[in-house]
Amino acid sequence: MLTKRIIPCLDIKDGRTVKGVNFLELRDAGDPVELAQRYSEEGADELVFLDITATLEKRKTLVELVTRIAKHINIPFTVGGGIKTVDEIEELLKAGADKVSLNSSIVRDPELINRASEAFGAQAIVAAVDAKKTNHTWNVFVKGGTEDTGLDALAWMKEVEERGAGEILLTSMDRDGTKSGFDIELLQKVNSLVSIPVIASGGAGTIQHCIDAVEIAKSDAVLAASIFHFKEIEISDLKSEMSKKGISVRI
């Protein structure tokens, strides 16, 4: 069995780490470089760093901050937010990021996945999907969760795999920040549809939620923010409990 990953997420706004509920009501969670260093030391497998207002404010991800984070940690990390071109991806990878997360830009220009995957390899390209349930299906939202594209999320995730994305970061907007558990139904559907790794995001509140995301929904990794930022769950405790359940984790 492949090792399951625990991934803290740092949502960045104005150079600070923030956390909200359903993409709203943001509150300060600390300095991103300090948090990144702490997570690296505490046994996180990877980090995800998202400049959550970069697309909305039509500005590039903070390359300077990426450089600073890369100097302080020794685990892989993914960067996302406002990345629109192959040149910008190259700039971030050169600054120290291991992967880039693409969302709004690939909905607008799906061919960007093909070009980026060809240029840097599928392993460096993460397709981020913000999905919200509408009627009996899930739609893809962009621009920091503010715009409903009308795209069917399941069909879109199949397409990003076919175009060369190496991984999917799937956030349930309905569950984001609620600590009510991951959207198991959505994750099960996606994991039965695609063969690339899926990172479960949105709704982590307990250790059991994380176990369910990998055991029941078959996700390859769990991503969370507030439960780690505010020390509600220690990464070591989470890994210990997962290991007891027979889940392969890096201790």
CB atoms within 10 A of CB 168: 25
All residues at 6 or more sequence positions from 94 whose CB lies less than 8 Å from its CB, including other chains: none
Active-site option among 11, 51, 183, 212? 11
All residues at 6 or more sequence positions from 195 whose CB lies less than 8 Å from its CB, including other chains: 161
- Looking at residue 10, the DSSP 8-state letter turns out to be E
C-alpha 138, offset from chain centre: 18
State the Cα torsion 195-51-225-193 to the nearest 10°.
-20
Active site residue 176: no
Active site residue 130: yes
Active-site option among 51, 130, 176, 220? 130
Contact 60, 22 (CB under 8 A): no
Active site residues: 11, 130
